[in-house]
Amino acid sequence: MSNRVEPQRHRTTAVRRSTRRAIVGVNIIEALVALPCLIATYGLAERLVAAQEAAGPGRVASSSVAGIAVTLNMSLLIVGAAAGTVGSVIQQSMAFARSSAPDHQLSWYVMRPLWSALLGSVSVVAVNTGLLSIGDETTSSAAVAVLVLTGCLAGLFTDQVLARLRRMLRPRTS
């Protein structure tokens, strides 16, 4: 046994310049795709709100998008996914900007918006079923805006939303 102290190797977490450029490029492309998608889906949801109000009780209004009939509820799922993606792009861009050497791989920057889009959709469904009334006499564009905000916040705070859901779903022991 020796009392001699060996120098420790320092692990570097520095990101190569080419990787940083790729991450920035991915963020820019995601933002350029996500925002127009959010705008388009929000417009579709608002048109379907108006169509549902005009259709009257007992009827379901729909709009054809790329040959697929989209109902109001389907459009809310899509707008929630788009808003979740926008929230995630914002969050990952902020995380990258805060850190001079992010320890996430490039795949995290590609996959995170997809996770957040799914979470945004689920959040919109939860809010829509419990708090807002979409598609009846009390429908308003403000309700669609609340759903968009919910999806965006779910994407922005994906980790916190998942932690809260885990706590809520954990079985209680007495």
DSSP assignment of 109-120: HHHHHHHHHHHH
pLDDT at 55 over 70: yes
Residue 53's contacts (CB-CB under 8 Å, 6 or more residues apart) are: 137, 139
Q: Look at residue 45 and tell me if it is in a domain.
A: yes
**Residue 68, strand partner residues:** 65
Q: Look at residue 20 and tell me if it is in a domain.
A: no
Average pLDDT for 37-55: 87
Q: Look at residue 117 and tell me if it is in a domain.
A: yes
Measure the CA–CA gap between 110 and 102, rounded to whole angstroms. 14
Q: Look at residue 169 and tell me if it is in a domain.
A: no
Q: How many domains does the chain have?
A: 1
Measure the CA–CA gap between 129 and 41, rounded to whole angstroms. 19
Q: Look at residue 18 and tell me if it is in a domain.
A: no
Residue 118 phi, psi dihedral angles, 5° rounding: -65, -45
pTM, whole model, 2 decimals? 0.63
Q: Can you read off the two tokens belonging to residue 46?
A: 């608002």
pLDDT at 57 over 80: yes
- Per-residue pLDDT at 76: 86
Measure the CA–CA gap between 53 and 12, rounded to whole angstroms. 59
Q: How many residues does the chain have?
A: 174
Q: With beta carbons less than 8 A apart as the criterion, state whether 112 and 26 touch.
A: no
Q: Look at residue 1 and tell me if it is in a domain.
A: no
> pLDDT class for 157, splitting at 50, 70, 90?
confident
Instruction: Look at the block and give the residue holding tokens 């993606």.
Output: 85
Q: Can you read off the two tokens belonging to residue 19?
A: 């990787």
**Residue 70, strand partner residues:** 63
Q: Look at residue 14 and tell me if it is in a domain.
A: no
* Burial (CB count <10 Å: 0-12, 13-18, 19+), residue 54: exposed
Taking CA 146 as the corner, what is the angle to CA 74 and CA 152, rounded to the nearest 5 degrees? 80
> Between the ranges 2-11, 21-30, 98-107, where is the mean pLDDT highest?
21-30
Q: With beta carbons less than 8 A apart as the criterion, state whether 70 and 76 touch.
A: no
Q: Look at residue 7 and tell me if it is in a domain.
A: no
The residue segments making up the domain with residue 114 are 25-163
